[in-house]
Structure formats: structure tokens, C-alpha cells
Amino acid sequence: MFIVHWITDLLCPPSKSAKYQLAESCFTKQELDAIRNEHCMHVLSQYAQTVDDDHFLQWAGLPDAAPALQQGLCNVVRQHSGQPGSPSASITLDGIIVAKAHCEKMDQASAEDFAFDVLDVDQQGAVPKDHLQAVILGCMQLALSKAYGRDAVANLQEAAAAVAAGACQYCGPDAQALTRPGYAKYCKAAPALNALLLSLMCNIGKQPPTVAHLVQPLIHLEQPNGQPSPAATASLTAAPAGSAGSPSSDSHAPGSSTAAVTDVAGPGGSSDALAAASAAAAGGGGDGLPTCPGRVQLPDLGWGLCDPADSLLQPGWVWLLAAGLGPKLRQEWRLLFNSVKHGMSYSTFLNRLGDASPTLLLIQDKGGALFGGVAYAPWKKTGTFYGDYASSIFSLLPKAQIYPASGINPNIQWCGVGFSQLPNGVGFGGQTGHFGAWLDATLDTGMSRPAATFASPCLASSQRFQVDVVEAWLLAPPEEELKEAASNA
């Protein structure tokens, strides 16, 4: 690998700036070598010492990402490529390493700064709602096309608009922009957007290219007339005698670097080698995001006999809600009840849920609001509140916001069956008769009032509402299936 390091140091000598040295200290030597070697491959293909936006996005595995997302990411890396207060006009190796350190290696505040800067493309300290919506739509498209295919990204505009509107609410009830303090609050309640933004550079340094891929562009570096570039010739001949980069009588012998280059890329030059290496590193090219161990896994969805198009749980909501759950609850979600399919029957609802937990409950009222909750305990008859503080409630339409349990009281879940004096139905939070989200046993009406249990406002179109559709999902495979899978493994 001597020639790799020699070429890299020749073209892109490391910076001595304080911010670069701090970023460099966050990586191991192997990680830095991988980033620098991949960078060398890309700059050689451009005959330059910097990477342009197109090559950088190809390297990151994001050539087909939404323009708003591409622009934000490139702007952030250019900012880190220049001096403080003076962004660089191009993307440098220093900037890539500093940006990657901020989003993956430093503290939470640094990571959130990176993500917010991707959003705040104009560097005004506030992200207008329409631009925020465009970035959120791009994030959904990337994540969902990878998890569920391109059909899943066909109708995400409504979900993206609702998520953007909900995020802006963390800056005030009538806010039309998202500020940095508001973004910090939003990340605690709904981590999906922040998690995806922080994964945008995971492909950088993921798969170090071979020596052949690195040497190929330099060997075939050509002028417009097709002759080898004098710079390339001079660089190669300047290599120390006997080094891995110096020409020798057996340089084209089988197994040598040059022979390997010709075998891999053919005599056509650097473009083929670059495309092949980029595709390999991206884990499939531009079809969604490259595989990244740190990225939030989205669950497999089991619809049973129901048509996915008729479900309340559309892909955009899966992306938003899954990020706040643990890894075990992001493996498989299974539809248990849909009132359109199974009827408006409370007994059928309870029978189909049985002892299932945790579950996701979705309610759409006739005013168009969509909301619900995640319950970690089974829905079983009891005359008191019960449940787990890990539970949450949320609104999805018209504004998407998530409300974790506040801890102020233990009134998480209620399930009433056959009572004469107590409420019959299922609900989240609040007090008896004053629930944060409530579904009456008739499945015809419900209630949603401000509740201290989740520090939540009314989630429905009105505090008393008419039910349109009810749906329930199991968020983990039944325990017996997990045990069987483990024994089979």
C-alpha cells in the first residue's frame, strides 16, 4: 500500500489546522487511511486535488437523492473545507474528514449541528417550512426506497408536509420555520430525521478501494490528444526507485499492480474503474441509500389479507415512528386489526389483539385527523390505569408530533370491558373520563383532551370526535416465533 499513501500525500497533504487535527483524532489510522485512499481515487479521476459535488455525491452513494438534500450536504462539507467564516469553493479531504467526525464521532451537540446545517442551506439560523419539507421528503424517499422499493415513495408529500409542520411547532404554535434550539427539542421526541441526516456520510471510508483502482486513474491519466499527461508521467517516474510506485521491468508481470489495473478496468481508463469501485462501495449504487450499520432499520410489514393501500399505516409514518423504538421493535410489524376489514366490533378488536404487546394503535376521525399511540402492555380488562413509561402517543395528521410519557403520573393505558360505573373502551393518558386519546367500546366515538401524562394537546379534530377507521399493529413477532427461530438458528 506504499504507492497509495504516496499518491495520497502527494496530491492531498494533511492539514495542520486545529479543527482538522481535532477531527483526525476521532478516527483510527485504518479509518483515516480508508477515507484518504477513496478520496485519492476520486481526485485522480478528476485530474484535480479536490472533489466536485457530483463525484462527492457518487462517493457518498447519494447521486439520486433529492436536490435539497444534496445541496445541504455539499454545502456543509464545503464549509468545513475552508477556514472558519470562509467556506471553500470546493470539497477537500480536510472538509470531508471534519464533517464526518462531526456527524459520526463527536458529541451529540456536534452531530445535531451538522444535521441542522444540512437543513439550513442558507445559513440563516432558521429553516423555512417549505425547504424543511423538501429535505424531509428526500429523507423519506431515500430510506423507504431502500427498505420497501420505489413504489413506497410514490405518495409521500402529505406525510412530509405533516412532519415539517410538526417540527416547526417546537419553535412556537404558529412558527413557520425551524430554529436550532427547536431542532434540539424535536430530535428528542422524533429522532427519525436527525438519524438519517447523520447517516449521509456513512459510505465515506466504508470500503477501501484496491491498489488497482487507485493506480489506474494515474496510469491512464490522459490529455485531450490521448497521450499520457506529463504530470502523470513525472509523478510516476518521481517515485523512489524500488518503491511500489516506480516503473520496473516486471511492472506488467502477472500479479503486479499495473497488470491488475488492466485486468480490472481494461485499457479504457479511469472512468470504468471509478464507476465499478463506487458501485461496490455504495452497496448497490444509487438505488436508495447504501447499507450502513448505524442507520435505523425499518421493519418488515405483514399485511395479512388486507390491501396495503387501504391501511392507515403508510410508509412515511413507519419511517417517522420506527426510529423512536428499540432494535427489537424494528424487525417485523404485523397488522392485527383494521375496522374496514374486520368490522367496527370492540370484542373482535380485543380478541384479535389478545395478549399481543407492544402494539401500535391508529385512529382516524371523520374530521381527517390521524393519531394514536404505542402501548407496551397488552390491552387487558382492568379497573385502573396501568402500562409502561416507554409508551407514547402521537399525532400524524394534520401535524406529526410524538409525545413520550412525561413521568408526571402512571396513567399510561386504560382498558375497560363490561363495566357499569367505569368507562368501557381503550385509552392513553389523562384521567378517568378525561383521556389523552380514547376509543369508546362502540368504536363509533372517541375523546382526546390535553393530558399531563404525555404533555400532549388534543390530538383529534375536536376533543369529542366521530371515528372513521381504527387499526392495530403488533410491533414484534410473537415470543413463541422468536424462540422457534432461535432454536432453528
Residue-wise pLDDT for 427-463, tens only, equals 999 999 899 999 999 999 999 999 999 999 999 999 9
Look at residue 481 in the predicted model and tell me its pLDDT.
59
Min mean pLDDT across 77-91, 265-279, 473-487 is at 265-279
Give the per-residue pLDDT at 486. 63
Top pLDDT among 245 and 148 is at: 148
Measured distance CA(473)–CA(359) in Å, rounded: 5
Q: Which three cell numbers stand for residue 41?
A: 481515487
91 class by beta-carbon count within 10 Å (0-12 exposed, 13-18 middle, 19+ buried): buried
Largest CA distance in the chain: 97
| pLDDT of residue 139 exceeding 90 | yes
Q: Residues 383-392: what's their mean pLDDT?
A: 95
φ/ψ (deg, to 5) at 265 = -105, -15
Candidate from 43-57, 236-250, 324-338, 440-454 with smallest mean pLDDT: 236-250
Does pLDDT of 426 surpass 50? yes
Share of the chain above pLDDT 70, in %: 74
Contacts of 327 (CB under 8 A, 6+ apart): 297
pLDDT at residue 324 is higher than 90: yes
Give the mean model confidence (pLDDT) for residues 178-206: 94
For the CA atoms of 401, 402, 405, 408, what is the dihedral angle to 10 degrees? -10
Q: What is the pLDDT of residue 383?
A: 87
Summary mean pLDDT of the chain: 81
CB neighbour class for 93 (10 Å; exposed up to 12, middle 13-18, buried from 19)? buried
Residue with the bigger pLDDT between 2 and 456: it is 456
CA atoms within 13 A on the CB side of 138: 22
Query: In this predicted structure, what is the pLDDT of residue 274?
Result: 40
Query: Residue 296's pLDDT is what?
Result: 83
Q: Which three cell numbers stand for residue 19?
A: 479543527
| Highest mean pLDDT out of 48-52, 227-231, 313-317 | 313-317
For the stretch 237-281, pLDDT in tens is 333 333 333 333 333 333 333 333 333 333 333 444 444 444 444
Segment among 258-262, 446-450, 474-478, 479-483 with least mean pLDDT: 258-262
Per-residue pLDDT at 106 exceeds 90: yes
Which residues, listed in sequence order, are joined to residue 363 by a DSSP beta bridge? 371, 470
pLDDT given for residue 362 in this prediction:
98
C-alpha distances in Å from residue 461, one per residue of 5, 218, 313, 344, 447: 63, 64, 19, 20, 10
Given this model, what pLDDT does residue 10 score? 56
Of the segments 58-72, 88-102, 220-234, which one has the largest average pLDDT value?
Answer: 58-72
- The answer on pLDDT for 472 being more than 90 is yes
pTM: 0.81
Which run of H or of E encompasses 232?
helix 230-237
Least confident of 24-38, 152-166, 257-271, 306-320: 257-271
- The whole-number average pLDDT for the span 64-88 is 84
Average pLDDT of the segment spanning 281-303: 63
The β-bridge partners of 447 are 438, 464
* pLDDT above 70 for 226: no
Instruction: Check if the beta carbon of residue 91 is closer than 8 Å to that of residue 56.
Output: yes
Cite the DSSP H helix spans in 86-176: 93-104, 108-119, 129-148, 157-168
Supply the pLDDT for residue 49.
64
Residues 6+ apart with CB under 8 A from 313: 301, 333, 335, 360, 362, 471, 473
Q: Give 399's pLDDT tier (boundaries 50, 70, 90).
A: very high
- The total of other beta-carbon atoms located within 10 Å of residue 326's CB is 10
Pairing between β-strand 359-365 and β-strand 464-474 as defined by DSSP bridges = antiparallel
